[in-house]
Structure 1
């Protein structure tokens, strides 16, 4: 299912009518079923997306069919690019699971095909047609490989294909096919490093076909062994030896090229999420400034070093894989990239924070021996830079809540910016940001909430959050990394997002501030619900945000920020009956919870009284509606007199779609400021009225 962010992206780019199918696996599967009636498709996974606004979008996919796995691609063009569609239609094609030709859907500007027809990797089709002849010519010293069977491992459309050459059911070599622009760089690196320690050995190439073949090495990828401190430490030592090589002729990778990468990454984030435009741009500038202030000796770089590129053999020896990006440059580039990927593994739950720290320390100890603290300090801006470059990955790999993943990676990258790289409204670093239309200076100057200056001050807010979270949730070593004013009603209330880091794990806390008093009643209700059946262990996936404590001197109570999007963004689209039913279950669960409240009872008579107070005010501003509003009030009075009294229960009293956050199948109910005892129909009527509105 498309997320609201996907739908907004599609709406912003009408030039690509086929963009929806590039992002929605279900829609692409339906299109394939319409175009290829004989296809017995069991599953489709979109695993790679490359998007250029108003130009094209390329998606790589993996099909599970009755005949096995099929790698392929789909590309959406502008309808005005008829020449490109025609070229795709006329180009030579290898028959396969999707038919004898590429599929061209002209009304949508879409081309779909198997990987064998990737025109940027055209030798892949030739390899499938005459594999023995091609392999024997390329590998004269290995005649047996001419009879090998090619088994796909990885495919990036228009860029690279990786496969295993299998002999008698066992892998014998790795074959890589590159686009023409990538091949020469990879070939040069492979032969330049042919005598380097602990790297895979190239055993053949074909410049005509843009192919390289490497000797197969048996072992376990390090990404499966990150809790094995010995293996991680040996990997650090292997990288140090790789960096220490001299006399190898490789291209120079300067810091200026890294600065360009950061600028391009920030631009890409702005395209996907315009609200993050300034944030990403400022982050790229700050990281570039931090990196530009440091220098170190150049080394032989791997260029794309992280745990997936390391193989641990049975004897414990380390082998470095995929040196296509090898260059001469700053060794902290490799170190930062490894540690950033490690941090992302922690963020996505693949490692605990403790396991991530242990792996980091073992890796740096292996690399720098007793110099671990120095390396960790010197690598900080390079870790931040790698995290920014990774920030597009949640979108590219089609993670369900990719905007939250991008936000999390930016939060984490910001935590590695030097303190001198930004200034805050209070003169401290890092900076306070605010939603559109909110001036932080006006919030600080609000006389009705004189504590806002303290709540937005990094030193004071950091100390208050640290002590509160330690007392209520046993969270220690909490560091404040960012402050954002999300909502503000002058003289009434404010909503603040605090971005924190706790033992390497990102955490966002919402601070809810009220001018008149600390809203203990709503905090108590939410706490009772959370401690009952509305927490993350709820089998029905109906929850409330986790309450985290109060800061009474600021009239503030805290809760964990939940992922997802307001239900409004989904319910306005067709095909959301199931979601509406799930929200009805959420309302019923709340009404059945039996949570007591000290607030006054809210009755139907109170609802009618409010209408009698407010509608005459509308009549004063719109006199032409006065008679109509009088008739409406009379009808309300008559209708209310016919409604029988029912059993009262705890009601939300402000229940409408924006108060429900949708995170895949999980729902979160927000904002219990008006929770009281009343008629449950008030909640249901309010929800339906907002839908009709």
Structure 2
């Protein structure tokens, strides 16, 4: 696969020139132009793009000596909708505003606001301050929707906000989501996992918190497995994963890996987005889509176990010789190789350039250098622990599911604003193809 096809030299500019329905797109994808529009220095950290329809970005800035987050949003022919939202925000004391980046173009609008003005999160953040903080034993402040002394760890506009706060002298991590908690976050489900020996963090709050999208736990350990070189942690994570796969839970249905509609929908959505972002990669993406569809679906539905659904090194916290698995909101019935392959693919995306994709930008040539089965040293440790605890898998199945994750996550470098997202996307597709051919 050619690493430098048309549109790779300046992919953001090329994308903006093709999407005439969103004339403000070039402002929101460029840190310099967005900073100019806002009158302060910002850096875009996350984007959600719907071709010809909308672009929503999260940005980070420094205020009062610490990081602060906000968002910017543009729609095709958006005037009425965005102006109504601005009026509503002002009526409830918010700071959302609508800007016109191009003088004379009245319909080229960009709405901007802070985390507290997030349209989808607003009600749950307000409930957290007014009711949830007390239930969690955390101080709240007046005049805002965030918590006293809290800091933002991660932010995905209209999806979720992850905060760090304090319960007395103890650090607490709080997730505020736009929607009520999924089945994998409910107490009866987590209690069932504990009974089967799956190492988890104690959850704070109650059912009403979960109904308002609020979940929380005490901060634990020295970091996650993605940021630590810890062979014993990877082995222990494999043992924990085997215990998870041994849990029978009748309350969970097929999820992201359901047969066949879920897989087909994900593959099609990824191929469509790849085609929109980099038309030169449309044909390679179509071939990989067809090969993955045949590989994963034509053999029929494999044996079902309870899977994590988004398993990766950053879902494993490490503290000394112990680990804790986190974030079960995507848990569903699936195949064991899906979790193992997901972990392997996630590890490959941050391996050094000689063996995989660079962590942030860089050459797309790592695929041919790596070769072999999916994953790296942490995956090897994970598999050893998994087998030791009685788990079973096929390497071909792990490689196929690793290719599935690599393909579907090929658009993440764009969403996460990797400086070399076009090359990184090409690497994902090349490596996915390599694992299934």
Note whether the superposition's TM-score is higher than 0.5.
Answer: yes
Superimposed CA distance per residue, residues 216-252 of structure 1 (whole angstroms, 9 cap, x where no aligned partner):
3333211122x32211111111111111111351121
Distance of aligned partners of 1:87 and 1:174 in 2 relative to their CA distance in 1, 3 Å threshold: same
Deviation at 1:110, TM superposition (A): 0.6
Distance of aligned partners of 1:332 and 1:45 in 2 relative to their CA distance in 1, 3 Å threshold: same
| 1:61 corresponds to which of 59, 62, 75 | 59
SS at match of 1:58: strand
Distance of aligned partners of 1:169 and 1:52 in 2 relative to their CA distance in 1, 3 Å threshold: same
Structure 2 counterpart of 1:348: 357
Structure 1 counterpart of 2:382: 363
Deviation at 1:207, TM superposition (A): 5.4
Structure 1 counterpart of 2:119: 119
Correspondence list, 1:40-51, <5 A: 41=40, 43-51=41-49
CA RMSD after TM alignment: 2.9
Distance of aligned partners of 1:125 and 1:364 in 2 relative to their CA distance in 1, 3 Å threshold: closer
Deviation at 1:356, TM superposition (A): 5.8
Deviation at 1:187, TM superposition (A): 6.6
1:364–1:376 Cα contact (<8 Å) kept = no
Distance of aligned partners of 1:163 and 1:368 in 2 relative to their CA distance in 1, 3 Å threshold: same
Deviation at 1:288, TM superposition (A): 1.2
Matched, 1:229 2:251: no
Deviation at 1:284, TM superposition (A): 0.9
Matched, 1:76 2:98: no
Unaligned 5+ runs, structure 2? 1-7, 101-105, 142-147, 360-365
1:16–1:109 Cα contact (<8 Å) kept = no
1:48–1:397 Cα contact (<8 Å) kept = yes
Distance of aligned partners of 1:133 and 1:385 in 2 relative to their CA distance in 1, 3 Å threshold: closer
Distance of aligned partners of 1:169 and 1:247 in 2 relative to their CA distance in 1, 3 Å threshold: closer
| 2:414 corresponds to which of 395, 407, 411 | 395
CA distance in structure 2 between the partners assigned to 1:190 and 1:47 by the alignment: 32
2:235–2:385 Cα contact (<8 Å) kept = yes
Deviation at 1:362, TM superposition (A): 1.4
Matched, 1:105 2:99: yes
CA distance in structure 2 between the partners assigned to 1:213 and 1:283 by the alignment: 39
Matched, 1:90 2:87: yes
Structure 2 counterpart of 1:212: 215
1:267–1:281 Cα contact (<8 Å) kept = no
Superimposed CA distance per residue, residues 497-540 of structure 1 (whole angstroms, 9 cap, x where no aligned partner):
xxxxxxxxxxxxxxxxxxxxxxxxxxxxxxxxxxxxxxxxxxxx
SS at match of 1:415: helix
More strand by share: 1
Structure 2 counterpart of 1:194: 191
SS at match of 1:63: strand
Matched, 1:14 2:20: yes
SS at match of 1:92: helix
1:95–1:101 Cα contact (<8 Å) kept = no
1:123–1:210 Cα contact (<8 Å) kept = no
Distance of aligned partners of 1:324 and 1:27 in 2 relative to their CA distance in 1, 3 Å threshold: same
SS at match of 2:286: helix
Structure 2 counterpart of 1:385: 404
> What TM-score comes out, normalization by structure 2 length?
0.82
CA distance in structure 2 between the partners assigned to 1:184 and 1:168 by the alignment: 26
Distance of aligned partners of 1:94 and 1:298 in 2 relative to their CA distance in 1, 3 Å threshold: farther
Deviation at 1:200, TM superposition (A): 2.6
Deviation at 1:365, TM superposition (A): 1.3
Correspondence list, 1:598-637, <5 A: none
> What TM-score comes out, normalization by structure 1 length?
0.53
Correspondence list, 1:175-574, <5 A: 175-180=174-179, 183-185=180-182, 189=186, 191-196=188-193, 197-204=198-205, 205-206=208-209, 209-225=212-228, 227-253=229-255, 254-256=258-260, 257-294=262-299, 295-314=301-320, 316-346=321-351, 347-349=356-358, 357-369=376-388, 375-417=394-436, 419=437
SS at match of 1:224: coil
Q: Which moved more, 1:369-378 or 1:332-341?
A: 369-378
CA distance in structure 1 between the partners assigned to 2:432 and 2:185 by the alignment: 33
Structure 1 counterpart of 2:3: none
Superimposed CA distance per residue, residues 37-82 of structure 1 (whole angstroms, 9 cap, x where no aligned partner):
xxxx4x422111111111100111111134522111111112x222
Structure 2 counterpart of 1:156: 156
Aligned length: 394
Higher CA-based Rg: 1
CA distance in structure 1 between the partners assigned to 2:137 and 2:163 by the alignment: 18
CA distance in structure 1 between the partners assigned to 2:310 and 2:69 by the alignment: 24
Superimposed CA distance per residue, residues 393-440 of structure 1 (whole angstroms, 9 cap, x where no aligned partner):
1111111121111111100000111x4xxxxxxxxxxxxxxxxxxxxx
Deviation at 1:94, TM superposition (A): 9.4
Distance of aligned partners of 1:190 and 1:326 in 2 relative to their CA distance in 1, 3 Å threshold: farther
Deviation at 1:95, TM superposition (A): 9.4
CA distance in structure 2 between the partners assigned to 1:217 and 1:123 by the alignment: 29
1:116–1:125 Cα contact (<8 Å) kept = yes
CA distance in structure 2 between the partners assigned to 1:275 and 1:109 by the alignment: 30
Distance of aligned partners of 1:324 and 1:280 in 2 relative to their CA distance in 1, 3 Å threshold: same
Unaligned 5+ runs, structure 1? 34-40, 420-693
